[in-house]
Chain A
Amino acid sequence: MFYSQRHANGRFLLRLLLTAVFLIPIFWMLMASLMAPGVPLPTTFRLIPDPVTLENYGRIWQIVPFGRFLLNSLLVVITAVPITIMTSSWAGFAMSQLPDARQKRLITLSLLILMVPSIALWTTRFMLYRWLGILDTRLALILPAFMGSSPFFVLMYYRAFRRISKPIFEASRLEGATVFESWRYIGMPQIYSTTLGVGILSFILYWGDFNSPLLYLSDQSKYTLPLALQLLQQLNRSDWPLLMTGSVLVTAVPLVLFIIILPLFRNINPNVLSGIK
Chain B
Amino acid sequence: MNFKKFQLSYKTQLNLFLLPYLFGIFLLVIIPALLSFGIAFFRYDGLSAPVWVGNLNFILAYNDELFNLSIQNSVALVLLPVPLRVFGAFLMARLLQKNGRFLNAFRAIIFLPSIIPGAAYALAWIWIFNPLSGPLNLLLQSIGLFTPAWLADPLWAKPALALISLWQIGEGFIVSLAALSDMPPSIDEAAQIDGASTWQQFWLIQLPIFAPILLILIFRDIALTLQNSFTTILFTTQGGPYYASYTLPQFIYEQGFDLLFFGSASAALWVLYLITGLIILIVYLLARQWQVGPSEALYVL
Q: Which residues of A contact B (CB under 8 A)?
A: 8, 11-12, 14-16, 18-19, 22-26, 28-29, 31-32, 41-46, 87-88, 90-91, 93-95, 97-98, 100, 103-104, 106-109, 111-128, 130, 143-144, 146-148, 151-152, 154-156, 158-159, 162, 173, 176, 178-180, 183, 204, 207-208, 210-211, 215, 225-227, 229-230, 233, 240, 243-244, 246-248, 250-251, 254-255, 258, 262, 265-266, 270-274, 276-277
Residues of B within 8 A of A155 (CB): 301
Beta-carbon contact of B124 and A226 below 8 Å = no
A250 with B117, Cβ < 8 A, contacts A41-B133, A44-B142 known? yes
Note all chain B residues with C-beta closer than 8 A to A250: 117, 119-120
Chain B nearest CB from A113 CB (Å) reads 6
B130 CB-CB contact with A under 8 Å:
yes
Interface CB pairs A-B, < 8 A, 7: A25-B113, A87-B20, A103-B294, A108-B292, A119-B248, A151-B25, A240-B130
B residues within 8 A CB of A113? 25, 29
- Taken together as a complex, chains A and B put the C-alpha atoms of A116 and B28 apart, in Å, by 12
Interface string of B162-186 (1 = CB under 8 A from A): 0000010001011001100100000
Contact B127 A115 (CB under 8 A): no
- Distance from B132 Cβ to chain A, minimum over Cβ atoms (Å): 7
The answer to whether B230 and A119 touch across the interface, beta carbons within 8 angstroms, is yes
Total cross-chain contacts (CB, 8 A): 324
Known: A91-B20, A118-B227, A233-B235. A243 touches B142 (CB 8 A): no
Instruction: Check: B149 CB closer than 8 A to any chain A CB.
Output: no
Chain A nearest CB from B129 CB (Å) reads 10
Closest chain A residue to B251, Cβ basis: A119
Beta-carbon contact of B119 and A229 below 8 Å = yes
Contacts of A46 in B (CB 8 A): 138
Say which residue of A22, A120, A243, A246 sits within 8 Å of B109 (CB atoms). A22
Q: How far is the CB of A261 from chain B (nearest CB, A)?
A: 10
Q: Inside 8 A of A230's CB, which chain B residues have their CB?
A: 119, 235
Q: Are A124 and B32 in contact (CB under 8 A)?
A: yes
CB <8 Å contact, A119 and B96: no
A71–B28 CA distance with the chains assembled, in angstroms = 27
Secondary structure class of chain B's binding surface, majority of residues: helix
- List the A side residues contacting B249 at CB < 8 Å: 119
The 7 lowest CB-CB distance pairs between A and B, nearest first, are A147-B24, A208-B117, A91-B21, A41-B133, A247-B120, A179-B13, A124-B32
Q: A42-B133, A127-B46 are in contact. Are A117 and B272 (CB under 8 A)?
A: yes
Q: Which of A16, A25, A117 contacts B223 (CB 8 A)?
A: A117
* B292-A251 in contact (CB<8A): no
Shortest C-beta distance, B148 to chain A (Å), equals 16
Total count of chain B residues near the partner, CB < 8 A? 106
B residues less than 8 Å from A8 (CB atoms): 100
Query: How far is B235's CA from A230's CA once the two chains are assembled, in angstroms?
Result: 7
When C-beta atoms are compared, the residue in chain B nearest to A178 turns out to be B13
Query: Is B71 located at the chain interface by the 8 A CB criterion?
Result: no
In the complex, what residue of chain B is closest to A240 when comparing beta carbons?
Answer: B127
Does B265 lie at the interface of the complex (its beta carbon under 8 Å from any beta carbon of A)?
Answer: yes
Distance in Å from the Cβ of A177 to the closest Cβ of chain B?
Answer: 9
Interface-central residue, A210, A243, A274, by most chain B CB under 10 Å? A274
Selected from A29, A44, A123, A176, the residue in CB contact (under 8 A) with B124 is A29
Q: Which A residues are CB-close (under 8 A) to B104?
A: 262, 265-266, 270-272
B39 within 8 A of A: yes
A66 vs B11: C-alpha distance when bound (angstroms) = 49
**CB distance B20 to A128 under 8 Å?**
no
Query: Chain B residues with Cβ under 8 A from A98's Cβ?
Result: 14
B108 touches A258 (CB 8 A): yes
Which A residues are in CB contact (< 8 Å) with B55?
none
Q: Convert B22-65 into 0s and 1s, putting 1 for each residue whose CB lies closer than 8 angstroms to a CB of A.
A: 11110111011101100100000010000000000000000000
Residues of A within 8 Å of B279, CB to CB, are: 115
Contact B112 A23 (CB under 8 A): yes
B96 touches A115 (CB 8 A): no
> In the bound complex, what is the Cα–Cα distance between A116 and B1 (angstroms)?
46
Do residues A148 and B21 form an inter-chain contact, with CB atoms below 8 A? yes
User: Measured between alpha carbons, how far is A273 from B35 in the docked complex, in Å?
Assistant: 39
- Select A226's contact among B117, B127, B223, B256, beta carbons within 8 Å: B117
Bound-complex Cα distance A28 to B118 (A):
16
CA of A152 to CA of B174, assembled, Å: 11
The answer for the CA separation of A162 and B107 in the assembled complex, in Å, is 25
Nearest chain-B residue to A20 (Cβ)?
B109
